[in-house]
Amino acid sequence: YFAPSPPPHLSVFLFSRFGHYVAAVYEHESILSPAPAALVERRSALELMGRNLDIYEQQVQAAARQGAQIIVFPEDGIHGFNFTRSSIYPYLDFVPHSHSGKWNPCREPYLFNDTEVVQRLSCMALKNKVFLVANLGSKQPCERWDPRCPSDGRYQFNTNVALAADGTLLATYRKHNLYFELAFDTPPEPDHAFFDTPFAGKFGMFTCFDILFFEPAVSLIRRYNLKQIVYPTAWMNQLPLLSAVEFQQAFATAFNVNILAANIHHPTLGMTGSGIYTPVKSFIYHNMESYGGKLPEKGKEQSPPSFYAEMMYDNFTFVPVWGEKGELQICVCANTLCCYLNYRRAVLTDELYALGVFDGLHTVHGTYYVQTCALVKCGGLSFSTCGQEVTNATALIDFQLWGNMSTPYIFPLLLTSGITLDFADHMGWKNNHYFLSKNRTSSGLLTAAIYGRWYEKD
């Protein structure tokens, strides 16, 4: 169900081994501080966060009326972003990390000071009898004897809280893979956070950038055999491979889990894309409004067998996918990875596509090792436009894509025109190669990719 936007709000039925349950995610357009670097009083920080929490409250009521048993809100949705370490301090709640399951912030507000935000969230859960997951900034005093204790005597964490339908604080998670968030500290050890529900068993929790790393996301899922994930995020979309909905779906498929993913809604910063994903079906919200992608450049070039172009800051080796009819196989290699493509253009257009390969350490905006085979639509007709961000396509291409990947952690990506999603007909391992194939996408093809994460080489 899509509510009229704004506010975007999405809720669907999900099936679990316990039967079915109803989940909601809310893509919140947060009211931001106009001067996030300025130092303010706790009172005015609470006033600003209160305005966001008023909207949360309406959404919890609306979701509960529609039968939702759990609702998930995005990262940074309550306090916003662009703070410094000291300017965020008045926005931080004290969130006891070790008291999980024993404290009901709505019923026992007097137990700890500086817990106004958690109290409100707890009361919303209690009043509407719904499980609630939200993200907030938290503080934890530390002692001089602690060698990691920052010089200002406190830890500041980017924190998710999970509240039960009676308001009890069930679990907390402190973000491990921070994305240039100078206001926050990395917790000393990765949290493996999950909570139990009567309707679907255990839900694991992690946040935003964490989705790209082994710790804690992959190890959490493995260790507790989790089938349900809640995922607050504030994700800036990056095409062709890292659009929010594209990667959220690939993660659900790769690890055979349901994901309830709530992103923040700020199209001018490239932030949108939330959804409820099962391993085989997705319900998404993606609305970029003014977002148009780059203008195509017209031009003709020579036809070398392969060429280099930068895609998402990585130096990809590409070959053009030109054949107009019949079946052709093409191949492109880099380092130890070779990618192969069999294809047939079902609807002929003058759009340029290319098959790209990258096997190396990605170092811009985070350091992580990637092995990728990607069939992408180029921004225009010249080779230099391959790897650009493109949002529309009309070509229908039947394909089989495969590569001799060296990592078992594979995220199959299939993104179609207008940032819509599709599922492959077949995917999986065969003779040490990972395969992905699709005969008829529901609309024009933007990206079909085998995105491998080689965690050990980070």
Ligand X SMILES: *[C@@H]1O[C@H](CO)[C@@H](O)[C@H](O)[C@H]1NC(C)=O
Q: Which residues are catalytic?
A: 75, 175, 208
The two three-digit tokens of residue 170, written as one number? 């069930």
Is there a contact between 313 and 369 (Cβ–Cβ < 8 Å)? no
User: Least separation, in Å, of the C-beta of 297 and ligand X?
Assistant: 14
With a CB cutoff of 8 Å and minimum separation 6, the contacts of 104 are 122, 126, 166, 167, 168, 169
User: Which C-beta is closer to ligand X: that of 69 or that of 140?
Assistant: 140
424 burial level (CB within 10 Å; 0-12, 13-18, 19+): buried
User: Least separation, in Å, of the C-beta of 37 and ligand X?
Assistant: 9
User: Which C-beta is closer to ligand X: that of 225 or that of 268?
Assistant: 268
User: Least separation, in Å, of the C-beta of 444 and ligand X?
Assistant: 9
User: Which C-beta is closer to ligand X: that of 112 or that of 423?
Assistant: 112
User: Which C-beta is closer to ligand X: that of 241 or that of 311?
Assistant: 311
User: Least separation, in Å, of the C-beta of 452 and ligand X?
Assistant: 11
User: Least separation, in Å, of the C-beta of 316 and ligand X?
Assistant: 8
User: Which C-beta is closer to ligand X: that of 7 or that of 109?
Assistant: 109
User: Least separation, in Å, of the C-beta of 392 and ligand X?
Assistant: 4
User: Which C-beta is closer to ligand X: that of 3 or that of 338?
Assistant: 338
User: Which C-beta is closer to ligand X: that of 70 or that of 312?
Assistant: 312
User: Which C-beta is closer to ligand X: that of 315 or that of 329?
Assistant: 315
3-state secondary structure the chain: CECCCCCCEEEEEEEECCEEEEEEEECCCCCCCCCCCCCCCHHHHHHHHHHHHHHHHHHHHHHHHCCCCEEECCCCCCCCCCCCCCCCHHHCEECCCCCCCCCCCCCCHHHCCCCHHHHHHHHHHHHHCCEEEEEEEEEEECCCCCCCCCCCCEEEEEEEEEECCCCCEEEEEECCCCCCCCCCCCCCCCCCEEEEECCCEEEEECCHHHHHCHHHHHHHHHHHCCCEEEEECCCECECCCECHHHHHHHHHHHHCCEEEEECCCEHHHCECCEEEECCCCEEEECCCCCCCCCCCCCCCCCCCCCEEEEECCEEEEEEEECCCCCCEEEEEEECCEEEEEEEEEEECCCCCEEEEEEEEEECCCCCEEEEEEEEEECCCCCHHHCCCCCCCCCCEEEEEEEECCCCCCEEEEEEECCCEECCCCEEEEECCEEEEEECCCCCCEEEEEEEEECHHHC
CB atoms within 10 A of CB 13: 12
Q: Which residues bind ligand X (CB under 6 A)?
A: 32, 36, 82, 112-113, 292-293, 308, 315, 336, 338, 344, 391-392, 398, 404, 406, 418, 425, 439
The two three-digit tokens of residue 55, written as one number? 């909207």
CA distance 278 to 249: 8
User: Least separation, in Å, of the C-beta of 241 and ligand X?
Assistant: 18
User: Least separation, in Å, of the C-beta of 426 and ligand X?
Assistant: 7
User: Which C-beta is closer to ligand X: that of 62 or that of 375?
Assistant: 375
User: Least separation, in Å, of the C-beta of 258 and ligand X?
Assistant: 27
* Longest Cα–Cα distance in the chain: 73
Q: Is 201 left (phi over 0), alpha (psi -120 to 50) or beta?
A: left
